[in-house]
């Protein structure tokens, strides 16, 4: 019988994070990180071996991770999007965006490095098309995602025993995307977007690649609709 591996997924209460947790659950005991306790409890009840980890990611400490001695997979899927022109966005918006999209990722990874090293683990950062190209009105979000890409690239070189993958999805049909479209003043058209399940399958493909293969970057775009 194959030994079950362990995974921690942030942003697991809904959307892409929940989809990733579902595709990992058959082979991994999944720690479900997020702020919505009810949603996490419901997902944990659905997935054998999963457990909720209600947490404010911007305030994680080593004590919150005492029980994690070994970790095979760490997926950073939590994030926030605040759109607006540079001239109109106060610095507080930039700080909030960086706190969750970058600093929380950096600190959680740092705290879990001993557990990841013991397992020869895999860190996956769910980035964005905005981490490859910055558009008007997206400066704070794109800056956080460009920085996330730099973090992943440096981590990959500093920790050669780990695998580090950055995933760049285009627009995904989630509640977060609905909010983005509201900020943009456009219609929410899920049929033109990626599904969360498609992103999850790409993440799983990177994880399941053979030991001789290191998928460092994956870019996904909807087959129809906008590519930004």
Structure tokens at 73: 């997979």
Nearest 5 degrees, angle CA 197-CA 199-CA 201? 70
Report the C-alpha dihedral over residues 43, 220, 176, 34, rounded to 10 degrees: 40
Contacts within 8 Å (CB) and 24+ apart, 182-191: 183/81, 183/82, 183/83, 183/84, 184/83, 184/137, 189/225, 191/224, 191/225
Structure tokens at 178: 């609905």
Tell me which H or E stretch contains 164: strand 163-169
Number of CB atoms found within 10 A of residue 1's CB: 3
* List 141, 168, 188, 193, catalytic entry: 141
Task: Please state, in angstroms and rounded to a whole number, the distance separating the CA atoms of residues 224 and 191.
Answer: 8
- Phi first, then psi: give them for residue 219, nearest 5 degrees: -115, 130
Number of CB atoms found within 10 A of residue 67's CB: 9
Number of CB atoms found within 10 A of residue 223's CB: 9
Confirm whether 141 is a catalytic residue.
yes
Catalytic site positions:
141
């Amino acid at each position: 019988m194959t030994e079950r591996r362990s995974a921690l997924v942030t942003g697991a209460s809904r959307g892409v994070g929940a989809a990733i947790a579902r595709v990992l659950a058959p082979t991994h005991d999944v720690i479900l990180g997020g702020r919505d306790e009810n949603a996490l409890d419901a997902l944990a009840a659905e997935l054998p071996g999963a457990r909720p980890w209600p947490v404010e990611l911007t305030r994680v400490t080593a004590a919150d991770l005492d029980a994690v001695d070994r970790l095979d997979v760490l997926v950073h899927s939590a994030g926030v999007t605040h759109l607006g022109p540079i001239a109109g966005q106060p610095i507080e918006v930039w700080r909030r965006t960086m706190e969750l999209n970058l600093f929380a990722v950096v600190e959680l990874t740092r705290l879990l490095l001993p557990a990841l090293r013991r397992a020869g683990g895999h860190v996956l950062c769910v980035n964005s098309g905005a981490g490859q190209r910055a558009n008007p009105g997206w400066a704070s979000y794109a800056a956080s995602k460009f920085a996330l890409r730099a973090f992943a690239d440096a981590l990959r070189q500093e920790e050669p025993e780990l695998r580090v993958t950055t995933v760049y999805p285009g627009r995904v049909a989630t509640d977060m995307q609905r909010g983005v479209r509201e900020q943009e003043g456009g219609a929410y058209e899920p049929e033109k977007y990626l599904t969360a399940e498609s992103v999850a399958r790409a993440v799983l493909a990177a994880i399941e690649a053979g030991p001789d293969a290191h998928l460092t970057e994956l870019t996904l775009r909807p087959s129809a609709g906008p590519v930004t």
